[in-house]
Amino acid sequence: MKATTPLHPLDAWQAAALLARRELKAVDLVRACLDRITEREPQVRAFVQLNADAALTHARQLDAGPVRGLLHGLPLGVKDLLDTHDLPTAYGSPIYAQHQPLADAAAVALCREAGAVLLGKTVTTELANMSPGVTRNPHNLAHTPGGSSSGSAAAVADCMLPLALGTQTAGSLIRPAAFCGIVGFKPSHNRVPKAGVKSLSETLDTIGGFGRSVRDVGLLGAALTGDARMADPATYAQTSAPRIGFCQTPDWNQADGDTQQVWAQAEKALHGFGAALELPQGLNHLVQVQKDIQAFETARSLSHERLQHHSQLSSPLQALLAYGLTISGQAHAGNLQTTANARSQAATLFSHFDVLLSPSSIGEAPPLALGTTGDPLFYRTWTLLGLPCIHLTFAHGRNGLPVGLQLVGAYGDDHRLLAAAHWVHARLTEHQLTR
C-alpha cells in the first residue's frame, strides 16, 4: 500500500487480504491503530489496558513467519469480561482491580491461534450489567456508546481497532453496535465456547464481536466457531435474494420516530423481498421471562460478590441481585421450560423466511447525562431464543447519531444469516445513498 494511505480505517477483511498477500505488514497496522488510540482515547475512553509493546513484538513475529490464520496480523480488542493471561481482567468492577488470570478465555485463545494481535482490554460496565462505564460514543461524546460491551464497540467505531470481542446476555452486542454505528454479531447460543468469561447467565450468555462490515464479523465468527462458511459471507450469499420476514415485534409501540423512519426506509429498499411477520402466541411475550432468568441466574452467578463484597457493588446491581433472589427455584424451572418450548417453536419462524428483520433499538443513543446505557427491549426475546443476530447500520437519527436494524437467523444457521446480511446491508446502504 502507498505510505500515504491511512491504515487504521481499513475494514478487517480488507486488511486481512493485504496481510495474507504480504502487501501490508502487521507491525505497520498495529502502529497505525496505536497512533489512532493515542489521538482519540483521551476523549472516547474505550480501553482499560493497552498491550502496546507486546502487540508490536507479536506483530513483528507474525511478519517474520508464515500466515497464521484468518485473523493474521489483525489488531483485536477484548472486552474486560474475558480472561487474558497477559493483561489484568477486572470485569468492570473495583472488586477485581489488578486481578490477573493465569489463562486466556477460550475465545481469546482461539483468536490468537488465528493470528490476531491483542492490542488491549476494552471497557465493560460493572460486571457486564447496566451501570454505565466511562466510555463515550465516538459520534458524540455527550452520548452513551451502549453497554455492556461499550469499549469494544466504541473502539471499532472510532477506527482504533478493526475487530473486538464482546458478550451479550440481554443486548450487549447489538445495542452498542446500534449506538456506535457498526456491525455487531451475536452468534447462536453456545456456538462459541464460554470458558474463561465471567458468567452471568448460563442460559443466555453469548460471545460475539464487532467490525465495520458484515465480512469483518464473518471472519471473526469463523475464527471463534471453526465454521469456515462464515469467513466470506459474499461467497455463500444466495443466488436469489433472501426471503425476509418483517417482524416489528409486540414492543413496536416503544420505538421512537427515528427507528420508525429507518424501518420505513428499509421496507422501501427491500420491497418485494419479504412480508410482514407476527410472532406466534408462544413467542409473543417473552421479555419478562428473559428478565427473570437473567436476574435469577445473575444473583447466583455473582454469589461471591454479593456475599463478600456487597458494599462495592453499585445500587442498581444490588437491586438486580435482590430481585433475582425473590424468584423461587420453582419459578425459574418454569421459566426454563417456557424457554425450551419457545426455542423449539422458534424454528417455525423460518418455515417461509430465511431471516427476520427487526428493530435494533428504541432510537438513537441516549445522552450520558441520563445515566443509562439504553434499553435492551428489542434484543431480549432473540437472546432468550438463542438465535443468531446481526446489527446493520445504514442511517442517522434526528441528532445525527447512527440508527439501524437487526437481522435474526435460524438457530445454527449463522453462516446463512451472514450471507443474507451481506446482501441486505448492501441494498439498505445503496438505497440510503440514493434517497
To the query of whether residue 79 is one of the catalytic residues in this protein, the response is yes
Question: For residues 400 and 138, what is the distance between their CA atoms, to the nearest angstrom?
Answer: 12
Calculated CA dihedral for residues 270, 276, 281, 287, nearest 10 degrees = 40
Nearest to 163, CA basis, from 94, 244, 79, 220: 220
Nearest to 87, CA basis, from 184, 76, 70: 76
Check 149, 150, 152, 172 and give the catalytic one: 172
Computed on alpha carbons and rounded to an integer, the radius of gyration of the chain in Å comes to 20
Check 131, 148, 301, 361 and give the catalytic one: 148
To the query of whether residue 148 is one of the catalytic residues in this protein, the response is yes
Q: In what order do the strands lie in the sheet with 163-168?
A: 47-50, 117-122, 75-79, 163-168, 206-211, 183-186, 389-396, 402-409, 355-359, 244-246, 274-276
The angle subtended at Cα 253 by Cα 250 and Cα 255, nearest 5°, is: 105
Check 79, 186, 194, 291 and give the catalytic one: 79
Long-range (24+ apart) CB contacts under 8 A made by 129-133 are 129/200, 129/298, 129/316, 129/317, 129/320, 130/316, 130/317, 130/320, 130/372, 130/373, 131/314, 131/316, 131/317, 132/368, 132/371, 132/372, 132/373, 133/92
To the query of whether residue 25 is one of the catalytic residues in this protein, the response is no
Question: For residues 232 and 219, what is the distance between their CA atoms, to the nearest angstrom?
Answer: 7
Q: Name residue, grid cell 452486542.
A: 173
Residues classed as catalytic: 79, 148, 172
